[in-house]
Amino acid sequence: MRLLLVLAFVTLSFAQNWEKFDPVLRRSILNGERGITLNTYTNIDKVKVLRRDGKVEVVSLSQKNLENLEKDPTAIYIEAPRKLKLLDDVSTNSSYVVWGHGTQQVDINYNKPFFGYIFGGSVSAEGCIQNSLFFQCSSATKLNVTALNDYRLLLFAPDIKGSDIQGGDRKYLVGTRSSISTNTGKGVVVGIVDSGINFCHPAFRNADGTTRILFYKDYTGIELSEAQINNMIKMGSCNYDGEGHGTAVASIAGGYWSMTRYNSQAKDVKFIVYKTNLYDTDVMAGLDYIKSKVQNLSMPAVVNLSLGGQLDPHDGTSLLDRYVDELSGPGFIVVVSAGNEGNERIHARLSSDNGDIHIYVSSNVEVDGWYTKGSSYNIQVCDQTTANCVGANPGNLANSQINTTSCFAYIDNRTLSSQLNGDGEVYMQISCLNPTYLTIRLTKISGSGKMDMWVSGDGNFLDGQVDDGFGGFSYTVSSPGTAKNVITVGAIGSNYISTSRFDNYGRVAYFSSRGPTRDGRIKPDVVADGFFQCTANANFSGNTDPNLCGPPGSGTYYIAIGGTSFSAPVVVSLVAMYLQSNPSADPMQVKNWLINNAFYDMEGTPPNVAYGYGKAVWVETSTTTNVEEKNSQTSSGGGCSMGRSSPINTLIYSLFVLIPLMKKLWKIRKRYA
Asked if 639 and 602 touch (Cβ cutoff 8 Å), the reply is no
pLDDT of residue 660: 43
pLDDT of residue 501: 64
In DSSP notation, 379-394 reads EEEE-TTSSSEEEE-T
With a cut of 90, say whether residue 634 has pLDDT above it.
Answer: no
- What is the pTM for the complete model shown? 0.85
pLDDT of residue 495: 67
Cis peptide before 532 (omega within 30 of 0): yes
For residues 21 and 301, give the distance between their C-alpha atoms in angstroms, rounded to a whole number: 34
pLDDT of residue 245: 95
> What is the SS3 string spanning 245-295?
HHHHHHHHHHCCCCCCCCCCCCCCCEEEEEECCCEHHHHHHHHHHHHHHHH
Which letter does DSSP use for residue 608 in this model? B
pLDDT of residue 64: 66
Kindly state the percentage of the chain with pLDDT values over 70: 85
Average confidence (pLDDT) over 524-538: 90
With a cut of 90, say whether residue 532 has pLDDT above it.
Answer: no
pLDDT in tens, 149-198: 999 888 888 778 889 999 999 888 877 777 778 899 999 999 999 999 99
pLDDT in tens, 220-265: 999 999 999 999 999 999 999 999 999 999 999 999 999 998 899 9
* Residue 599 burial class via C-beta count within 10 angstroms: exposed 0-12, middle 13-18, buried 19 and up: buried
Q: What residues have CB less than 8 Å from 109, skipping those under 6 apart?
A: 140, 163, 164, 165, 166
Q: How confident is the model at residue 622 (pLDDT cuts 50, 70, 90)?
A: very low
Listed ranges 62-71, 498-507, 548-557; the one with the highest mean pLDDT: 548-557
More confident residue, 30 or 355: 355
Asked if 287 and 193 touch (Cβ cutoff 8 Å), the reply is yes
pLDDT in tens, 351-408: 998 999 999 999 999 999 999 999 999 999 999 999 999 999 999 999 999 999 999 9
pLDDT of residue 170: 87
With a cut of 60, say whether residue 673 has pLDDT above it.
Answer: no
* Residue 549 burial class via C-beta count within 10 angstroms: exposed 0-12, middle 13-18, buried 19 and up: buried
For residues 284 and 282, give the distance between their C-alpha atoms in angstroms, rounded to a whole number: 5
pLDDT of residue 499: 61
More confident residue, 179 or 414: 414
Asked if 144 and 66 touch (Cβ cutoff 8 Å), the reply is no
Which letter does DSSP use for residue 505 in this model? B
pLDDT of residue 43: 61
More confident residue, 149 or 550: 149
Q: What residues have CB less than 8 Å from 293, skipping those under 6 apart?
A: 189, 214, 215, 272
Q: How confident is the model at residue 145 (pLDDT cuts 50, 70, 90)?
A: very high
pLDDT in tens, 83-108: 998 865 334 455 788 989 999 999 99
With a cut of 90, say whether residue 531 has pLDDT above it.
Answer: no
pLDDT of residue 506: 80
Q: What residues have CB less than 8 Å from 344, skipping those under 6 apart?
A: 460, 473, 476
Q: How confident is the model at residue 502 (pLDDT cuts 50, 70, 90)?
A: low
Query: β-strands 487-493, 332-337: how paired?
Result: parallel
pLDDT of residue 443: 96
Average pLDDT of every residue of the chain: 85
With a cut of 90, say whether residue 29 has pLDDT above it.
Answer: no
For residues 557 and 547, give the distance between their C-alpha atoms in angstroms, rounded to a whole number: 8
With a cut of 60, say whether residue 421 has pLDDT above it.
Answer: yes
Kindly state the percentage of the chain with pLDDT values over 90: 64
Average confidence (pLDDT) over 622-644: 33
For residues 391 and 333, give the distance between their C-alpha atoms in angstroms, rounded to a whole number: 45
pLDDT of residue 589: 97
Listed residue (284, 213, 295) closest to 251, CA to CA: 213
Strand partners, 436: 361
pLDDT in tens, 584-593: 999 999 999 9
With a cut of 70, say whether residue 663 has pLDDT above it.
Answer: no
